Structure 1
Amino acid sequence: MSRNLLPVLALLTGTLFLFLGNGLQGLLLPLRGTLEGYSNETLGLLGTTWAAGFVIGCFVAPNVVRRIGHVRAFSGFLALICLNVLLTGLLVDQAAWLTLRAITGFCTAGTSMIIESWLNERATPENRGTIFSFYISITLFGVVGGQMLVPFSDVTTTTLFMICGILYSVAALPTTLSKAASPQPLKRAKLDLRGLFRNSPISCIGILLIGIANGAYGTLAAVFASRAGLSQGAVAAMVTITIFAGAIMQFPAGRLSDRMDRRHVLAGLSAAAALAGLVVAMVRPTDAYGIIVLVAIYGAAANALYPIAVAHANDFAAPEDFVKVSGGLLLLYGIGTIIGPTLGGPVMSWAGPYALFLVTAIAHILITAYAIFRSRQRAPVPAEHRDAYSVAPAATSPMTTPEGIALDPRSVPAEGTSEDRRN
C-alpha cells in the first residue's frame, strides 16, 4: 500500500490541509453569522452562493488551468481562498460574505480539479482503487478535523479565521514545491441530461432531491443547532457525527443494494431519513444528546443515498459512459445544493429552526414515493450485470468535480463487459 501512495503522498498531504480549511470555514461561518444576528435567509444564501460558485468553477476553471498551467492556477486559487477567509474575518458584512463565499466556491472547484487530475494521472490500473479510497478518506477526516477545531477558540474573534488561512497556505506548499511534471490539461465532461433522464429517471430526480436535502442541512445545520441552544462544542459534535454516521452506513447500504433492487434501498433509506427528520421537527428536542442521536440516524440514512443513486444509473448505462453519467448527476446534485439552502432559510424564519428538517423530510418523502413508483415501471437489472457499488466522493464531502469522477476506478471499464445494461 505504501508503494502505491508514495508517489502522491505530498499531494495527498496538501489535500488534507485543504479540506481541514474547508471543514473549519464551513462550520465557522454559520456560527459567527448566527452570533452576528444574520437572518436565516442570509445564512442559507452562504451555501447557495458557494454551491453556485463551485458549479460554475467546474465549467470555467479548466480554461484558467489551460492558460496559465496547473501549478500557477493552483497557487492562485489557494491564494484567493486564503485571502477570502481572512477578509471574511475582517469584513463582518452580509453582502461581503456572500460575494466572498461565491468566489471561494469557484476557487475550491479549481483546486479540487487540479488535485484530482494530478492523482488521476499518477494512478495506474493496479493502484487506482487504493488512491481513490485514500483520497475519499482524506476528504472525510479533513472536513471532520477542521470542524473539530471550532470548540478550541472563540468564534467571535478573528483567531479561527487566521487558523483557516494558515491551513490553506500550508495546503499550497506540497504541490507548489513538487518537482513532478504537471498533469495533462483538464477536460470538460460532455453532459446529456435528457439522455441521462431516459437512462434512469429515479437517479436524476432522486439526486436533485438529495442535493436539495443535503444542501439545506449542510449549510443550515449549525444555524439550527445554535438556535436550538446547543453549545459551540455540541454544534461541532452534531455536524461531525452526521458525517461519520453517513460514512459508516456506506458499506452495509452498498452491500444491500448489490443484492436487491437499488430503488427499494433508496426508498427505505429515504423513508428512514424522512422519519428521523420528522421526529426532530415535531418533537423538537432541546437536550444536546437527544438531538445528536436523532441527527446521527438522519445522517446515516441521508448520506448513503447518493452513491446508491449513482450505481443505479450506471446499472442501465454502458461502462464507457460512466464519466458522462456521473458528470450529469453531479450537475443535478449541484443544482439541488443551490436550491436547498435558498428554501431552507426562509422556512426556518417562518416556522422556527426545527423546520429545517421539514424541508429535508419533504425531499426524502418525494424520493421514497418516486423510487417505489419507478420500481413498478421497469424491472431491475440482473445482479450479474449490475455496476459495482463504490463509495462516491460526494457522499463524504460537500461536492466533487468531473476530475474526481474520472479518478473513480469504475471510470475505467473492464474488458468484455456485457452490453445487457443498456436494455
Structure 2
Amino acid sequence: MALLLSTLFLFLGNGLHGLLLPVRGSAEGYSNEILGLLGTSWATGFVAGCLIAPKLVMRVGHVRAFSSFISLIAIIALLSGILVDQYWWVGLRAVTGFCIAGTSMIIESWLNERATNESRGTIFSFYISVTLIGVVGGQMLVGIVDPSTTILFMVCGILYCLATLPTTVSTAATPQPLTSVRLNLPRLYHNSPVSFVGILMIGIANGAYGTLAAVFGSRAGMAPNVIAIMLSVTIFVGAIIQFPAGKASDRIDRRFVLAALSALAALAAIVLIILQPHDPMTMIILVAVYGAAANALYPIAVAHANDFASADEFVQVSGGLLLLYGIGTIIGPTIGGPVMTLFGPHALFAVTAMAHVLLTGYAIYRTRLRAAIPADERENVPNMPVSASPMSTPESLSLDPRSAPLPEQDDSEIPEQPAGATS
C-alpha cells in the first residue's frame, strides 16, 4: 500500500504537470511547434530512462535513486513556474521524462518483488487503476485554479514530494536489480508485422493527441476546465472499452478488430475536422468516441504479437513493442505541431486519422498473407494501461499475468530493513 500510495501521488503530479504546461504555454503564445516539442522531449527522455535508469538504480540502490529522481522532478516542476520560457521548458521536459521512467521502474519492480503467482494479477489491475485515477485527478486540478499563476506549479511540487514519503519510510525489503529490454527491430517485425507497424502508428497518433490535445482545446477556445474534462473522458472511455474490445479480439482475428477500431478512430477524427464543433458537449462526445477506439488498440496489438511468440518471449516481445511505441510518441508531436500551425488546430486530428488509416489498411492487407492463430490457442487480452496515460516501463511487464510465472516467495526469508535502507 505504501508503494501504491507513492504511485498515486506521482501520477497526480504527472497528470497535472502534463496538462498544465501546454495550457499555460498556449496562453503565453508559444507556437504549436514548441508545444509539440514538449511531448517529443518528454517521450525522448522517457525512452532513454527505460534504457539507462536501471544502471543508475543498480549503482546507488532503489531508495536513493527514487528519492533523487523525485527530487529532480519536483525541482523541475517548480522551475517551470519560475522560468516561464519555451526553450527552458523543452529542455526540462526531457529530464522529467527520464526521471519519470526511473521512478516508475522502481515502483513497478518493487511491486513485482512483493507479488506472488496468486496475487500478481490483482496487483497489476490495482496498479493500473491507481495510475488512471492519478492522471485523471491531476488533470482535473487544472480547472480549479487559474493556470496563469504559479500556484499549480507549486501544487505539482507538493504532489511529487508527497510521492517520496510512503516509499522512503517503508520498512519493506528493496527489490532485485531492474531488468532492461533491448529493442530488436528485425525480430519484432518478423514476429508480427501488423503489431510492429501498428504499435508505431498507435504511438504516433496517441503521442500527437496526448501532447497537443490541450493545445487544440486552447486554440479552439475551450476553457481550461473543459479541456481537462475532455482529456479525462478520453482516458475513462479508453479504460472501459478495453474489456469488450479484448474479448472480441479473443474470438475473431485480432487484425480485423484492429482494423475496425482504427477505422472508427479515423472516422471520429475526420468528423471532428469537418464539423469543427464549438459546442463543448458535442466536442466531448466526439472525442470520447475517438478515445474509446484509439485507446483500445495498444493491448490488442501486443496480444497479437504474443500469439506468434513462445511463452518465454513475452517480456522481450512486449518490451520491444513498448519501446517502439515510445519512438512513435516522439514522432507524433513533432509532426503534429507544424501541421496545426499550417492548417489550424483541428488539423491535429488529420495526423491521428492518417496514422489510423494506415494501420487499418495494413492490418487488412496482412490478413491476406498470414493465417490467424485459432481462437483456442490465443492468450486472452488482459486489461492494460491505456496508451493515453503515461507510458509503462519494461518493469511493468513482469507484473502482467501473461508473463512467465514468478518464483514462489517465502516471506520468512525476506530480511527486514531499517526505514530508508538503500539496498
TM-score (structure 2 length as normaliser) = 0.95
2:417 maps to which residue?
Answer: none
Query: In the alignment, is residue 21 of structure 1 matched against residue 25 of structure 2?
Result: no
Summarize the alignment of residues 256-275 of structure 1 with structure 2, pairs less than 5 Å apart: 256-275=248-267
Distance in structure 1 (CA, Å) of the matches to 2:153 and 2:371: 52
- My pick for the range that moved more, 217-226 or 187-196, is 187-196
Q: Pick from 177, 199, 222: which aligns with 2:191?
A: 199
Q: Per-residue deviation at 1:289? A: 1.0
Q: Per-residue deviation at 1:191? A: 3.4
Q: Per-residue deviation at 1:348? A: 0.1
Query: In the alignment, is residue 304 of structure 1 matched against residue 284 of structure 2?
Result: no
2:368 maps to which residue?
Answer: 376
Distance in structure 2 (CA, Å) of the matches to 1:379 and 1:173: 52
Q: Per-residue deviation at 1:190? A: 3.6
1:120 maps to which residue?
Answer: 112
Contact 1:216–1:340 (Cα < 8 Å) also in 2: yes
SS of the aligned residue for 2:179 comes to coil
Contact 1:307–1:389 (Cα < 8 Å) also in 2: yes
SS of the aligned residue for 2:370 comes to coil
Q: Per-residue deviation at 1:237? A: 0.6
Q: Per-residue deviation at 1:102? A: 0.3
Amino acid aligned to 1:43? L
Distance in structure 1 (CA, Å) of the matches to 2:405 and 2:269: 39
Query: In the alignment, is residue 183 of structure 1 matched against residue 191 of structure 2?
Result: no
Distance in structure 1 (CA, Å) of the matches to 2:240 and 2:4: 22
Distance in structure 2 (CA, Å) of the matches to 1:238 and 1:180: 39
Distance in structure 2 (CA, Å) of the matches to 1:232 and 1:78: 27
Cα deviations by residue, 1:67-101 (Å, 9 ceiling, x for unpaired): 10000000000000000000000000011101110
Summarize the alignment of residues 236-251 of structure 1 with structure 2, pairs less than 5 Å apart: 236-251=228-243
- My pick for the range that moved more, 389-398 or 163-172, is 389-398
Contact 1:57–1:105 (Cα < 8 Å) also in 2: yes
Summarize the alignment of residues 258-297 of structure 1 with structure 2, pairs less than 5 Å apart: 258-297=250-289
Contact 2:238–2:386 (Cα < 8 Å) also in 1: no
Distance in structure 2 (CA, Å) of the matches to 1:141 and 1:255: 24
Query: In the alignment, is residue 92 of structure 1 matched against residue 79 of structure 2?
Result: no
Q: Pick from 136, 150, 153: which aligns with 2:145?
A: 153
2:247 maps to which residue?
Answer: 255
Q: Per-residue deviation at 1:188? A: 1.3
Amino acid aligned to 2:155? I
Amino acid aligned to 2:47? V
Q: Per-residue deviation at 1:395? A: 3.3
Contact 1:247–1:395 (Cα < 8 Å) also in 2: no
Distance in structure 2 (CA, Å) of the matches to 1:225 and 1:80: 30
Contact 1:319–1:413 (Cα < 8 Å) also in 2: no
Query: In the alignment, is residue 403 of structure 1 matched against residue 395 of structure 2?
Result: yes
Distance in structure 2 (CA, Å) of the matches to 1:11 and 1:258: 33
TM-score (structure 1 length as normaliser) = 0.95
Query: In the alignment, is residue 62 of structure 1 matched against residue 34 of structure 2?
Result: no
2:73 maps to which residue?
Answer: 81
Distance in structure 2 (CA, Å) of the matches to 1:43 and 1:193: 30
Q: Per-residue deviation at 1:37? A: 0.3
Amino acid aligned to 1:147? Q
Cα deviations by residue, 1:375-410 (Å, 9 ceiling, x for unpaired): 111110011110121122253622010101111111
1:38 maps to which residue?
Answer: 30
Contact 2:183–2:324 (Cα < 8 Å) also in 1: no
SS of the aligned residue for 1:309 comes to helix
Amino acid aligned to 1:370? Y
1:328 maps to which residue?
Answer: 320
1:390 maps to which residue?
Answer: 382
Contact 1:56–1:106 (Cα < 8 Å) also in 2: yes
Cα deviations by residue, 1:293-333 (Å, 9 ceiling, x for unpaired): 10000000000000000000000000110000001101110
Aligned Cα root-mean-square deviation (Å): 1.0
Give the gaps of 5 or more residues in structure 1.
Answer: 1-8, 415-423
- My pick for the range that moved more, 390-399 or 324-333, is 390-399
Give the gaps of 5 or more residues in structure 2.
Answer: 407-423
Cα deviations by residue, 1:202-224 (Å, 9 ceiling, x for unpaired): 00000000000000000000100
1:166 maps to which residue?
Answer: 158
Distance in structure 2 (CA, Å) of the matches to 1:369 and 1:14: 42
Distance in structure 1 (CA, Å) of the matches to 2:82 and 2:394: 34
Q: Per-residue deviation at 1:129? A: 0.3
SS of the aligned residue for 2:402 comes to helix
Distance in structure 1 (CA, Å) of the matches to 2:298 and 2:116: 26
Distance in structure 2 (CA, Å) of the matches to 1:301 and 1:187: 32
SS of the aligned residue for 2:327 comes to helix
The count of aligned residue pairs is 406
Amino acid aligned to 1:373? Y
SS of the aligned residue for 1:393 comes to coil
Distance in structure 1 (CA, Å) of the matches to 2:116 and 2:385: 19
Distance in structure 1 (CA, Å) of the matches to 2:261 and 2:272: 17
Contact 1:47–1:341 (Cα < 8 Å) also in 2: yes
Contact 1:247–1:396 (Cα < 8 Å) also in 2: no
SS of the aligned residue for 1:395 comes to coil
Amino acid aligned to 1:368? T
